[in-house]
Amino acid sequence: MNDRLRAAHPTEREVGMEYYASSAEGIGGTIRDRDEDFRVREIEDFSTQPIDADPDAYPHLVIRATLRGWDTNDFARRLSDAMGASRERVSWAGTKDKRAVTTQLFSVMKGDPDALPDIRDAEIEVVGRAGRDLQFGDLAGNAFEIRVRDGDPERVDAITEELRAFGGGSVGVPNYFGQQRFGSRRPVTHRVGLAIAREDWRGAVMEYLGNPRESEPEDTQAARGYVGETEDWAGALERFPRKLGFERAMLHRLVEDGATEPEDFRAALETAPTNLQRLFVNAAQSSVFNRILSERLKRGLPFDRAVAGDVVCFSDAAAPEGLVRPDTGRTQRVTENRVETINRHVERGRAFVTAPLVGTETELGAGEPGGIEREVLSEVGISTADFELPGEFGSTGTRRAILLTTDLSVEDDPLAFDFVLPSGSYATVLLREYLKCDPRDLG
């Protein structure tokens, strides 16, 4: 049992992030006071042809956009409108934060480079053409430059020393899913997803529509409180602000169906966009993953090496030069007689200890790591078989590395952090170890 653990912020604990890996006092301060305080540039893993390549064979125009204060979805919509294309013709590999300066690739099906518009706070560069659109797997990682205002630089070294010990030499932190995965101001998506996994369709609807938070406007709090107390769908529809379109769509369906049977509540959930339906389940998987990592921390099991019963994955040989990336499609159970051999691979960055994102095809670990996985699943009241669900709610599951490491550079004046992370990992999960603040202040 690790008695030196520092408890996380209550909001983080709601989503399974129970502890910090470092016990030293945080530096405080804030990020994202200005867009330029948070800069992120994609590490691209996507091949293109020259712009004069045959547009029939390579119909996707690929551009690189540097955006200031743009939500990725909003920019894609603005770009498609300006080019006279449907929104479905614009694709990208990774969604970026709005309060930032971001550089990333977009592809436009049958896009004309001469039709590229001038868009405020956006610099657009033509990269070339491609035979297919951009997809999530085309993003290898992200490079970050993040400024912290009003932080104490004298506390940085103590935290870094602890994180290097935790990471086995490199700066390392538990590879938690960050607060953005669940909602910084209203973290309920995982609770919706867990109710879905239990096929508690009514409970899932109430988790989404109810649960008022102090961080919300008063009219929204009142509407959520009303629906939670009364389940009066028509009355709630009159009270919910029009800006809450997803909630209102659910309420409309509940009113139409009379909402008494489980299938009525499932139908209401299915009014949400398909990406939000998937997010509910993904957030549930992510919260379980976080809880598994927190329990491993609590028990003092290592993150930078394997123990008997762990499941490891191996490095992706196709990762861009200079970036180490786990390949969760290649896994192996660690038996007692293979621990030393596997850990030689782990030390060289060729293998990674993993934990499950549970689904129907998830193979749980053995020994103490497997015991942790089963205990957490029991505590939240789900099993791997529970993800055999209809439509967008189903998931086969996968595994994810439990340790996030990086070569970190810190400047004192102004206080700024430079680092690179593989895709799917969160910059805020590293920064929380340094600032130790309310996760809402991390953006």
Query: Where do the structural domains in the chain lie, given as residue ranges?
Result: 6-31+148-175+405-442, 39-141, 191-272, 276-401
3-state SS of 38-59 is EEEEEEECCCCECCCCCCCCCC
Q: pLDDT category, 321, cuts 50, 70, 90? A: confident
Is pLDDT above 80 for 365? yes
Which residues 6+ apart lie within 8 Å of 68 measured at CB? 35, 36, 101, 121, 122
Q: Check pLDDT > 70 for residue 131.
A: yes
Closest CA to 156 of 29, 278, 31, 36: 29
Mean pLDDT score of the chain:
94
Residue with tokens 């009355």: 235
d(CA 70, CA 98): 5
Task: Give the pLDDT confidence score for residue 319 in this predicted structure.
Answer: 78
Contact yes or no for 298/18 (Cβ under 8 A): yes
How far from chain centre, in Å, is Cα 7?
22
pLDDT grade for 66, boundaries at 50, 70 and 90:
very high
**pLDDT bracket for residue 307 (50, 70, 90):** very high
What confidence tier does 346 reach under pLDDT thresholds 50, 70, 90?
A: very high
Residue 52 near residue 205 (C-beta atoms within 8 A): no
Residue 1 has pLDDT above 80, yes or no: no
Q: Diameter of the chain by CA atoms?
A: 65
Q: What is the model's pLDDT at position 32?
A: 87
Report the top-level CATH class of 276-401. alpha beta
- List the CATH code of the domain at 191-272: 1.10.1510.30
Task: List residues bridging with 416 in a β-sheet.
Answer: 147, 411
> Residue 203 contacts by C-beta under 8 Å, 6 or more apart in sequence?
195
Residues 21-37 have pLDDT tens digits of 999 999 999 998 899 99
Q: What is the CATH number of domain 39-141?
A: 3.30.70.3160
Cis peptide bond prior to 414, omega within 30° of 0: yes
- pLDDT at position 429 is 97
d(CA 325, CA 46): 16
Residue among 45, 97, 133, 304 flagged as catalytic: 97
Spatial separation of the C-alpha atoms in residues 113 and 79, rounded to whole Å = 12
Taking the model in full, what pTM does it have? 0.93
pLDDT the model gives residue 442: 84
- Known active-site residue 304: no
Find the mean pLDDT for residues 237-250.
96
CA distance 325 to 422: 6
Tell me the two tokens of residue 265: 């509540």
How confident is the model over 17-22, as a mean pLDDT?
A: 98
pLDDT band at 183 (very low <50, low <70, confident <90, very high): confident
Query: For residues 333 and 366, is the Cβ–Cβ distance under 8 A?
Result: yes
